[in-house]
Homo-oligomer: A and B are copies of this chain.
């Protein structure tokens, strides 16, 4: 009987290992997509942007495989409550990763259009820096997942505030460029969408880190965390200071 149980447990563990290997592979591809998207914008490299767009298909396919595999494991192994929690968290994480991949693809699409316009300040470099921050957060969130390291996961959650600050600062910059010279409007709209996409990537990474905290401690990270976009308030101030 004990042997039978051991057998069942280890079969689940083997399955779980397989799933975790897949999620790390997916994570690696998404990390690369974030940086490739931001770099192709900065260097105005349309070929690299196209690679990001095409690469997203593989990320989508991995999510589908992961979900099918997770559902198969649940149906086949009838995991205990705590094992089930791990499998369900993997499904959520893969959904977050897939969305980050989508956002990288969106950036790459806008890059194709932006290269046809004059550059607006050195904002693409600021955007690449912001993307780099998010990429490092994702790397740490995935490490934290594998190690079940809630301290590292909480650190990732805290760093999302820096990303939000970068986004808010960039937003003010875009607004200034647009008000100064209306011929900047179209480019700035694109650039701000890109900033917003990177900010949303940070939210998804944070959501992964929150899963890790929950897995490691059984507790949800206490604060229902600020959602980051303070541009509503920013815009209000800005318009007030412009008297419009």
Residues of A within 8 A of B (CB): 60, 71, 74-75, 78-81, 84-85, 88, 91, 95, 102, 106, 109-110, 112-113, 116-118, 175, 178-179, 182-183, 185-187, 189-190, 192-193, 224, 227, 229, 231-233, 235-236, 238-240, 242, 244
What would 6 A/B residue contacts be, using CB atoms closer than 8 Å? A74-B84, A106-B229, A175-B186, A186-B239, A189-B235, A193-B231
**Copy total for this chain:** 2
Interchain CA distance A113-B237 in the complex, whole Å = 9
**Which chain B residue lies CB-closest to A112?**
B232
Interchain CA distance A79-B178 in the complex, whole Å = 57
A189 CB contacts on chain B under 8 angstroms = 175, 192, 235
Pair B84/A75 contact, Cβ less than 8 Å:
yes
Pair B190/A185 contact, Cβ less than 8 Å:
no
Interchain CA distance A235-B14 in the complex, whole Å = 50
Q: Give A109 Cβ to nearest chain B Cβ, in Å.
A: 5
Interchain CA distance A185-B171 in the complex, whole Å = 13
A179 CB contacts on chain B under 8 angstroms = 182, 185
A236 CB contacts on chain B under 8 angstroms = 112-113, 116
Q: Give the contacting residue for A186; candidates B88, B186, B235; CB below 8 A.
A: B235
